[in-house]
Amino acid sequence: MSFSPPPSLVVSSHTPPERVDLYLIKRGISLSRSRIQNLIEEGQILVNGRPTKASYRVREGDQIDIQIPPPAPLNLIPEEVPLDILYEDEVLLVLNKPAGMVVHPAPGHDRGTLVHALLHHCRGLPGIGGRERPGIVHRLDKETSGVMVVAKTDQAHQRLSKQFKEHTIDRRYLAIVSGKVAKKSGKIDLPIGRDRIDRKKISARTARPRESETHYVVRERFRIATLLEVYPQTGRTHQIRVHMAHLGHPVVGDKVYGGRAARMFEINVERQMLHAERLGFIHPLLGDRMLFCASMPADMQALLSALQAERRGQGASSMDGGAEGAGLRGAGG
C-alpha cells in the first residue's frame, strides 16, 4: 500500500496567490514540504503542463499535476539479524533497538544495520522513506537503546513523520548522568546545530542553530550520578547528549560529549547510558493512541544496581560527600 497523489489539481477561485509548495501542503497532500520541493526540482510537479519553481505563486485556474517516481532501487543485501519486536501489523513495526546497532548504512557501517535487518524481515520495504533508509521514521544513535517505530507503507511513513514533525509524539528516555542534579526538574532551551569547527559534533556553536528543547525529571540521585527521566520536545540529532553536557551533567559513558565523565566509573561502561524507554503515537491507519515501553537494558541496570548498592553501603548521611563506595569512583560533574 503506497501513497497515490491526485493526478491533477485545479486552483479554485478565491485562492490567494501563494507559493505552490505551501498551496499543496494546505490542500492536504501527504508529502512533506521538502519532499514537494525535491519533486519540483526534479520536474515531477507541473503547473499548466510545464515545470515550475517552489516560489511560483498559484493563480485561479492553474492546473497542477503531481507525479511520484518509483522508488530508487536499494543496493543492499537483506541480512537475517535478530530483532526484538514489540508490535507489528500490516503498516508498522515497533521494536526495541539494542545498543551498538546502527540504524541505517553509512561509511564504515555497510552491514548489520537495522535497515539490513528490516529488509530481510519486511519483504517489499525498499524505497519507503528514502533510498537508504527504508521505513525509518526516526532514529536512535548507535549506542542508544530503546523503542523505535518503523513504517511499512508510504502512507504510514508520511503520517508518522508528520507526528514527529509536529512534536505530538510521546517520548521518554532514561539517562544516567554524571554528578548530582540539584533541581528536581528542569528545562533546557538551547538551539543547536552542526558545530562550526568539528563537523562531526552538534553544539550551540553553530552557523545554523535550530530550536531545541529538553525537559527532565530526577528519578534517583546518587553520590556521583543521577538517574533522569528525559522528555525531548524536539528531535534534533544528539539533542539529549548535547543538552545534558550543557547542563554540566553529561550522560555517563558519552565519549563524544562527556569528557572525563565518560571514565568516571571503575566498572566497565561501554556506551552512553541513554535508553528510549517509552514511545507513544497515533496509529497512522486506525487512529488509535498506542504506547510502547522497553525495560532498561542489562548494562544500564548493572550500573544502576552498583550505584544503589553504594548508596545503601554509605548510608543517607554520606550522600553529599565522604568516602567512595567499592567499585565506584567519582570524577565530578
Phi then psi for 184, rounded to 5 degrees?
-65, -35
Q: How far is CA 171 from CA 64, 143, 270, in A?
A: 38, 18, 24
> In angstroms, rounded to a whole number, what is the distance separating the alpha carbons of residues 51 and 186?
50
The reply to whether 2 falls in a domain is no
The reply to whether 80 falls in a domain is no
Q: Which residues does 120 contact at the CB level (< 8 Å), separation at least 6?
A: 78, 79, 80, 81
* pLDDT at residue number 106: 74
The reply to whether 157 falls in a domain is yes
Domain encompassing residue 53:
9-66
Do 279 and 245 lie in one domain? The reply is yes
> In angstroms, rounded to a whole number, what is the distance separating the alpha carbons of residues 221 and 218?
7
Do 122 and 209 lie in one domain? The reply is no
The reply to whether 326 falls in a domain is no
Residues with pLDDT less than 70, the chain: 1-7, 30, 70-74, 124-133, 260-268, 315-333
The reply to whether 287 falls in a domain is yes
CA-closest candidate to residue 32, choices 22, 41, 42: 22
As given in the structure block, the three cell numbers for residue 24 are 499543496
Count the domains in the chain: 3
Residue holding cell 477561485? 13
Residue holding cell 537494558? 297
> In angstroms, rounded to a whole number, what is the distance separating the alpha carbons of residues 149 and 191?
26
Do 123 and 236 lie in one domain? The reply is no
The reply to whether 324 falls in a domain is no
Give the CATH number of the domain where residue 117 resides.
3.30.2350.10
Residue holding cell 528490516? 118
| Residue 299 is among the residues annotated as catalytic for this protein | no
CB 101 within 8 A of CB 83: no
Do 28 and 98 lie in one domain? The reply is no
* pLDDT at residue number 168: 95
CA-closest candidate to residue 147, choices 93, 82, 94, 102: 94
Q: Which of 141, 165, 189 is the last residue of a domain?
A: 165
> In angstroms, rounded to a whole number, what is the distance separating the alpha carbons of residues 103 and 137?
11
Do 197 and 292 lie in one domain? The reply is yes
The reply to whether 21 falls in a domain is yes
* pLDDT at residue number 147: 98
Q: Write down the catalytic residue from 141, 154, 254, 299.
A: 141
Do 152 and 34 lie in one domain? The reply is no
The reply to whether 73 falls in a domain is no
Q: How far is CA 45 from CA 20, 53, 245, 306, in A?
A: 10, 9, 44, 59
* pLDDT at residue number 74: 61
Q: Which of 147, 165, 183 is the last residue of a domain?
A: 165
Q: Which of 137, 165, 193 is the last residue of a domain?
A: 165
**CA dihedral of residues 251, 254, 256, 259 (deg, nearest 10):** 70
Give the CATH number of the domain where residue 52 resides.
3.10.290.10
Q: Is 324 helix (H, G, I), strand (E, B) or coil?
A: coil
